[in-house]
Chains A and B, each alone.
Chain A
Amino acid sequence: MAELNAIELEGVVKEYVSHGEVVQAVKGVTLDIAEGEFFSLLGPSGCGKTTTMRMIAGFEEPSRGVVKLHGQDVTNVPPNKRDVNMVFQSYALFPHMNVWDNVAFGLKQRRTPQEEIKRRVGEILEIVDLTGREKRRPREMSGGQQQRVALARALVNRPSALLLDEPLGALDLKLRQAMQIELKRIQREVGITFVYVTHDQSEALTMSDRIAVMKDGLVEQLAGPREIYERPASSFVAGFIGTSNLLSGVANGGVLEVGGGRVLVPEREGDVTLTVRPEKITISAEKPDGEVSVVPGTVTEVVYLGTYTSYAVSLAGGTEVTVFQQNAHDARNIAERGDAVWLSWQAQHSYALGS
């Protein structure tokens, strides 16, 4: 028997009527999420990622298309009859119940035997490190603790998939980073499919097995984090994930002329747009030798950032290029503002968009 996907979306569309006009929040999303996968829906606000998740949870009914859980069509099944649970952005804990009752809510609704509720709630509270705080009310807890209650409340039901809607959005940076690691650990421990909605690209890159980058209600690219970072499918993806330099022009004989330099573009002819990641570029005072892309420019800005320094380099013709240089050896900057420099990078680090 072939392994069934945890979640399948087939041509899912969501339309709203707003002020007499039909607005498409989701314009046709098709994707499969495998069992046990950590899957992220990544995109700016208004890209349809939350609507997509709410259709998986059952809070929104698709205007067209099919939602399947484990191969079962659940398109018109209400949320209380779906075997997925959600962690809400604002946690949406029950304010009138203590931690224990919050976590036990789902099991009680499913008429689980008292003994089993006791055991499973105890277990999950241990996993999220909240043992001993069973009697606390949500508002007596910190944001990070509330977050873990919300997680436990969903996970205790052992859903076939856990949906997380920007669950770390309300936490400060340090706590967020700690929770990212925590979430990954919990996911490995319980082995449940996670669907994670976020607008934070670094969060998606760190945690996900695969990422769907969304824009304007459509999936721009669906791939693993490395693939998305190294081989963005569009200038939108390249710009949204990390920092990216875009160079465009007409390629001729494997070479693209940019700002008085030569960029190597093997296997491409004609109009082309390249992306080059800032950390792949080397800055030098002398023109480097060898089979590399070489472009001259002038340093316009130097920003020291601790582990690396960010240089803004202006090319002839006005294109700005950002370069990151690790501060591995020298305490001094490689170049200063106003210096004429050479930028160089390996041919494989120019990635042509749309290839």
Chain B
Amino acid sequence: MKRLTPYLLALPGWMWLAIFLVVPMAAMASVSLQTGNAIDGFAMTFSVSNYTDALSRYSTQLVRSLAYGGAATLAMLLIGYPVAYWIAFKGGHRKSMYLFLLLLPFFVSFVLRTISWGFLLADDGILFGTLKGWGLLPADFHVLATAFAVIAGLTYNWLPFMILPIYVALERVDPRVVEAAQDLYASRTAAFRRVVLPLSLPGVFAGVLMTFVPATADPVNAQVLGGTSNTMIGNIIQTTYLTNLQYPTASALSFTLMAVLLVGIFVYARVLGTENVLEAAAR
């Protein structure tokens, strides 16, 4: 009995995973190989062509999603790292307040926040409209419905998920280790490059994972900020499923996206050397 206790304690977790992850995935895998339509019903035909058709029709959007997701992740890293660094090392006793401020936007719905950005960035909205009124911007200047708007929206929405893991990693860096590097003739820059940066890599690794995946799959930002020419794969899946009711195609697309992301993560982990990263993190 004693030996079984840990497994029994883990049982609710396993059941959760089974019911809410494994079963739906299996169902979706099955749907992705079926043919038919919403009125007459779908039947299993093991039609692999669902995948090849979806891929050839929507490869542009898939590649665009990866590009936007990647660009947004890079932007989040460039903005988020200094913020995390500043809170961890210069935050003093106000650290928790800064972290709270970082999470404050989450008290408002994600979609609402994105729509407000739509208002803010509108061609004749309070920002650009005013600037155009003053003659500081040309009349045909616009941000909305560009790739920039979508990437900026993605960056804004997931930035905290980049900052928090990096903050946690930096927070755990012993300041005396940094002093030791300086004592051993390292300049501030060298101490950062040789000691602080490597020790924070586990946080960067986690941050990239936590932001790249949802940003690539997100339909909301492209829909609200991107206009018609910046459609991402998330939008395609959404309309295929909810509007066109082509469940097999939508499922096949979802699996394709998942496979691409998993391969991407795997390559990324190999390149960055998770072994090393996790080992440093284990301390």
Distance in Å: Cβ of B260 to nearest Cβ of chain A: 32
Chain B residues positioned under 8 Å from A109 (CB to CB): 184-186, 190
Closest B-chain residue to A101, C-beta based? B194
Among A58, A94, A106, A154, residue most surrounded by chain B Cβ atoms (within 10 Å)? A94
Distance in Å: Cβ of B264 to nearest Cβ of chain A: 25
* Cβ contact within 8 Å between B187 and A88: no
Once A88-B176, A90-B174, A139-B283 are accepted as A-B contacts, the answer to whether A96 and B182 lie under 8 Å apart by CB is no
**A95: Cβ under 8 A from any B Cβ:** yes
**B70: Cβ under 8 A from any A Cβ:** no
**A74: Cβ under 8 A from any B Cβ:** no
Closest B-chain residue to A163, C-beta based? B183
Closest B-chain residue to A110, C-beta based? B185
* Cβ contact within 8 Å between A105 and B176: no
Chain B residues positioned under 8 Å from A88 (CB to CB): 176, 179-180
Q: Within the complex, which residue of A79, A86, A95, A106 is in contact with B177, where a contact is CB–CB below 8 Å?
A: A95
Contacting residues of chain B (163-181) with chain A, CB-CB under 8 angstroms = 174, 176-177, 179-181
Chain B residues positioned under 8 Å from A23 (CB to CB): none
Q: How far is the CA of A95 from the CA of B200 in the complex (A)?
A: 12
**B195: Cβ under 8 A from any A Cβ:** yes
Distance in Å: Cβ of B174 to nearest Cβ of chain A: 6
Chain B residues positioned under 8 Å from A49 (CB to CB): none
Give the B interface residue count (CB, 8 A): 23
Task: Tell me what chain B mostly uses at the interface: helix, strand, loop, or mixed.
Answer: helix
Chain B residues positioned under 8 Å from A57 (CB to CB): 183
**A153: Cβ under 8 A from any B Cβ:** yes
Number of A-B residue pairs, CB cutoff 8 Å, is 69
Closest A-chain residue to B277, C-beta based? A96
**A236: Cβ under 8 A from any B Cβ:** no
* Cβ contact within 8 Å between A80 and B176: no
Chain B, 183-205, contact with A by CB distance < 8 Å: what is the 0/1 string?
11111001100110011000000
Distance in Å: Cβ of A101 to nearest Cβ of chain B: 10
Closest A-chain residue to B176, C-beta based? A92
**A221: Cβ under 8 A from any B Cβ:** no
Q: Within the complex, which residue of A80, A93, A137, A139 is in contact with B183, where a contact is CB–CB below 8 Å?
A: A80
**A198: Cβ under 8 A from any B Cβ:** no
**B280: Cβ under 8 A from any A Cβ:** yes
**B279: Cβ under 8 A from any A Cβ:** yes
Once A59-B179, A92-B176, A96-B198 are accepted as A-B contacts, the answer to whether A106 and B283 lie under 8 Å apart by CB is no
Chain B residues positioned under 8 Å from A85 (CB to CB): 183-184
Q: How far is the CA of A197 from the CA of B184 in the complex (A)?
A: 19
* Cβ contact within 8 Å between A80 and B180: no
Among B179, B276, B279, residue most surrounded by chain A Cβ atoms (within 10 Å)? B179
Closest B-chain residue to A78, C-beta based? B182
Chain A residues positioned under 8 Å from B174 (CB to CB): 90, 92
**A157: Cβ under 8 A from any B Cβ:** yes
Interface residues on A, range: 20 to 34
* Cβ contact within 8 Å between B179 and A79: yes
Q: How far is the CA of A137 from the CA of B186 in the complex (A)?
A: 21
Chain B residues positioned under 8 Å from A79 (CB to CB): 179, 182-183
Contacting residues of chain B (134-176) with chain A, CB-CB under 8 angstroms = 174, 176
Q: How far is the CA of A78 from the CA of B265 in the complex (A)?
A: 42
Distance in Å: Cβ of A345 to nearest Cβ of chain B: 47
* Cβ contact within 8 Å between B198 and A105: no
* Cβ contact within 8 Å between A157 and B283: no
* Cβ contact within 8 Å between B283 and A94: no
Once A80-B185, A106-B185 are accepted as A-B contacts, the answer to whether A96 and B280 lie under 8 Å apart by CB is yes
* Cβ contact within 8 Å between B180 and A92: yes
Chain A, 258-301, contact with B by CB distance < 8 Å: what is the 0/1 string?
00000000000000000000000000000000000000000000
Distance in Å: Cβ of B36 to nearest Cβ of chain A: 56
Distance in Å: Cβ of A84 to nearest Cβ of chain B: 8
Closest B-chain residue to A165, C-beta based? B176
Q: How far is the CA of A90 from the CA of B176 in the complex (A)?
A: 8
Distance in Å: Cβ of A244 to nearest Cβ of chain B: 36
Q: How far is the CA of A96 from the CA of B201 in the complex (A)?
A: 11
Q: How far is the CA of A95 from the CA of B178 in the complex (A)?
A: 11
Q: How far is the CA of A57 from the CA of B183 in the complex (A)?
A: 7
* Cβ contact within 8 Å between A80 and B199: no
Distance in Å: Cβ of A169 to nearest Cβ of chain B: 14
Chain B residues positioned under 8 Å from A81 (CB to CB): 185
Chain A residues positioned under 8 Å from B177 (CB to CB): 92-95
Q: How far is the CA of A211 from the CA of B177 in the complex (A)?
A: 28
* Cβ contact within 8 Å between B194 and A105: yes
Among B174, B180, B182, B194, residue most surrounded by chain A Cβ atoms (within 10 Å)? B180
27 CB-based A-B contacts, threshold 8 Å: A58-B183, A59-B179, A59-B182, A78-B182, A79-B183, A80-B182, A80-B183, A80-B184, A80-B185, A80-B187, A85-B183, A85-B184, A86-B180, A88-B176, A88-B179, A90-B176, A92-B177, A94-B177, A94-B180, A95-B283, A96-B195, A96-B280, A105-B184, A106-B184, A109-B186, A110-B185, A139-B282
Residues of A whose CB lies within 8 Å of any CB of B are 57-59, 78-81, 85-86, 88, 90, 92-96, 105-106, 109-110, 137, 139, 153-154, 157
6 nearest A-B pairs in the assembled complex, by CB-CB distance: A106-B184, A92-B176, A109-B185, A92-B180, A96-B280, A95-B283
Given A94-B177, A96-B195, 12 additional A-B pairs, CB 8 A: A58-B183, A79-B182, A80-B191, A88-B180, A92-B179, A94-B181, A95-B177, A109-B190, A110-B185, A139-B283, A154-B183, A154-B184
